[in-house]
Amino acid sequence: MTILQTIRDSLPTLPPSEKRVALWLLENPRAATNTNIAELASLAGISEPTVIRFCRRLGLNGFRALKDQLIAASQIPETYLHQSVQADDTVSTAALKVMETCTRTLLDLSRLTAVLPFEEATQLLTNARQIVFAGIGASGLVAQDATHKFFRLGTPCTAATDTQTILQMASIATEDDVFIFISQTGKWPELTRAVSLCRAQGAKVIAISGEHTPLGAAANLVFDCKVAEDTNIYTPMNSRLAHLVLLDALQVVLALTNGSDAEAKLRTAKSAIQPVAESPVKRKDK
């Protein structure tokens, strides 16, 4: 386990000031290797003693030990296929590594459940006139998947998966609409602009992204999955899986909150696609 994984695991139990250190390190692991303790404290908006307490909470002797661990983590070789896959791996080994990485991603996500805003999001979604899931590229596939799940609860849902559609839908949003923006990096300027358009119309915005990204900072609520991923990889694996499971969980929580009404709609939707029972044909005796 690298120091970055250790920091992610510690997030739910950290005091607010030390959590700010952890989040900054997770978002800027390489930059952290070139900072001193005073610079890190300033960048994270905390005091130097807080940095020392954070290091000790991780079992480290001090800031120098933390930097050594971060430098070591930054030197772990990566490939553009998958973080843990090496060029000389066998087919079966590569496949196993992908599955193990996905398993770790979901375990890490499960540890964050207590600090993710499920209750607040459920309150917004329960009263929504419509829900718009917005994402580009791989996140667009997550948006489409979520649409197929959530509409069965009776609220109209739309997947917006290109920038023109996202911006236009945001511009005509109403105060009763809820937009869920999905982006691992949270740095698409078009998405941030769309959030501003939504907020200007009074619509509520939930971001599945980093809390300190431009997208996350502009939203009403943020689900920060803390997924460690090389964002240079063309098709993200870990974040896509985490976002799919997160939205599955949110849909179930929303259904439970809406009680018997949601249960009835789910049953009705399911029965609509069941094969119609054919009546037996009675033979007429000649």
| Cβ atoms of residues 171 and 214 within 8 Å | no
Residue 110 pLDDT more than 90?
A: no
Q: What are the tens digits of pLDDT across the range 137-175?
A: 889 999 999 999 999 999 999 999 999 999 999 999 999
Q: What are the tens digits of pLDDT across the range 205-239?
A: 999 998 888 999 999 999 998 776 654 444 457 88
Q: Give the model's pLDDT for residue 76.
A: 56
Q: Give the architecture (CATH level 2) of 113-269.
A: 3-Layer(aba) Sandwich (3.40)
Residue 85 pLDDT more than 80?
A: no
The residues, ordered by sequence, that sit 6+ positions from 181 with a Cβ below 8 Å of its Cβ are 134, 135, 191, 194, 195, 205, 206, 207, 208, 209, 215, 219
From first CA to last CA, the distance across the chain in angstroms is: 80
Q: How many CB atoms lie under 10 A from the CB of residue 56?
A: 13
| Cβ atoms of residues 109 and 246 within 8 Å | yes
- The segment(s) of the chain belonging to CATH 3.40.50.10490 are 113-269
- Of 204, 241, 239, the closest CA to residue 224 belongs to 239
Rounded to two decimals, what is the model's pTM?
A: 0.69
- The segment(s) of the chain belonging to CATH 1.10.10.10 are 1-76
Which of 91-100, 119-128, 159-168 comes out lowest in average pLDDT? 91-100
Domain 1-76 has CATH 1.10.3720.10: no
**The tokens of 76 are what?**
């772990």
